[in-house]
Amino acid sequence: MKEAVEEDFPCLLLKSDLETTEIKWFNPYAKSFLGVEWTSEKKIIDLVSKASSIFYESYIKPILLANGEYLEVQITLLSGSGQRVPAVANITVSGHILYWAIYVAKERDKLYQELIEAKDQLEKKTEELTAVSRRDTLTPLLNRRAANDDVLKMISQSRRAFVPLSFLLLDIDFFKKINDAFGHEEGDRILIKLSHVLLEQVRETDVVARWGGEEFLMVLFNTDIKDIKPFSERLHNAISEISLPSGKPLTASIGGTVLEKGDLEQPNLIAQQLLKADKALYEVKANQRAHTRIYDSVHGIVKI
C-alpha cells in the first residue's frame, strides 16, 4: 500500500498567523477547493464569509488564546467560484501559528435542512389533522368535542379573572318539515348557510359549534344577559335573511343562560349550563318559536 501523502487528505489543511491571519501553508485539497494559488498575501479572512471573519476576530481568536484549541467551529468558506460553502473547522494553536483542519459540511447541512423541512411538514400536517378533527363534518363550525375543549378553556380563563359567559343553544324551527318538503340535500345546504350566518354574527373570542343535527351551541365571551338582547335580535334578523325554497324565511329558536361567578364552583359546569339553556329552549319551542329565552337563576325563564 502506498504511503499517504498531502494530496490524499480529503479536507482543507492550513497554517495561518494568529494575528495577521496570513496563510503560511495549505494542502492541495484546499488549493483546488478554494481555487486560489498560494501567495504570501492570502489571509484566512479572504477565504471565509464576512460573518465568519468577524466571528474569527471576536470569538475564535479569544478562545484559541485562552484554550489553545477550538473544535467543531462552524464557518462559511468562499469557494473559488464565489460560492458560500458551510464547513466545520478544528483549530489548534502553537506559538502564533494556527493549524486548521476544515471539512466541508455541505451534505450535513443539506441533511439538516431536509430534517428541518420534514419537521415543518409534519407540524403542518399535524395542524391540518387537528383542524380537521375539530371541525364538524358538514359545516365550517367546530364539532361537539372541540367546542367542549374550547369552552373549558374559556371557563378556566373566567376562573382567573371573572368574565360572564353566555351559553346559547339554537335549534332550527320545523327542520324535519324542511327536509321532508325540499329534500335532505336542501336541508344540508340550509345547515351550512346558517353556520356561516352564525360565524358572521359572533366575535372571534366566542365559540360556535354544531352541537347535534340541527342544534347549535354558541358560547359568547364576556357577554351577560343585557348583552344577549341586541345580539339575539341581530341574529334572528340575519337568520330570517335565509330563504327556504318556498320563499319563506328560515327561523330558529334560542334558549340560553349566563354563567355567573357563583356557578364556577359547580361540578360538570358545561352540562349544568346546557341543562339551563335547554330548559329555556324548550319553553321557546313550546310557545312562539323564532325567539330567544334565557334561564336566569333569580327570575327563572325570561323572554328576551
Ligand X SMILES: Nc1nc2c(ncn2[C@@H]2O[C@H](COP(=O)(O)OP(=O)(O)OP(=O)(O)O)[C@@H](O)[C@H]2O)c(=O)[nH]1
Q: By CB under 6 A, name the one of 34, 78, 164, 187 that touches ligand X.
A: 187
N-to-C CA span, the chain = 97
141 binds ligand X (CB under 6 A): no
Whether 214 sits among the annotated catalytic residues: the reply is yes
Q: How far apart are CA 1 and CA 145, in angstroms?
A: 71
282 binds ligand X (CB under 6 A): no
Residue showing cell 484546499: 30
Stretch that binds ligand X, among 15-23, 70-78, 108-116, 186-194 (CB under 6 A): 186-194
Q: By CB under 6 A, name the one of 29, 104, 141, 214 that touches ligand X.
A: 214
Quick one: 70 or 211, whose CB is closer to ligand X? 211
Stretch that binds ligand X, among 11-19, 39-47, 169-177, 294-302 (CB under 6 A): 169-177
62 binds ligand X (CB under 6 A): no
Q: Please compute, for residue 130, the number of CA atoms within 13 A of its CA located in the half-sphere on the CB side.
A: 7
Q: By CB under 6 A, name the one of 24, 144, 193, 285 that touches ligand X.
A: 285
Q: Which residues of 161-182 are buried (b: 16+ CB within 10 A; e: fewer)?
A: eeebbbbbbbbbbebeebbeee
Q: By CB under 6 A, name the one of 38, 55, 174, 221 that touches ligand X.
A: 174
Q: Which of residues 81-140 bind ligand X (CB under 6 A)?
A: 138
Question: Angle 184-201/225-240 helices, nearest 10 degrees?
Answer: 140
Q: Please compute, for residue 188, the number of CA atoms within 13 A of its CA located in the half-sphere on the CB side.
A: 8
175 binds ligand X (CB under 6 A): yes
DSSP line for 201-222: HS-TTSEEEEEETTEEEEEEET
Active site residues: 214
Task: Give the footprint of ligand X on this chain (CB under 6 A).
Answer: 138, 171-177, 179, 184, 187-188, 191, 213-214, 285
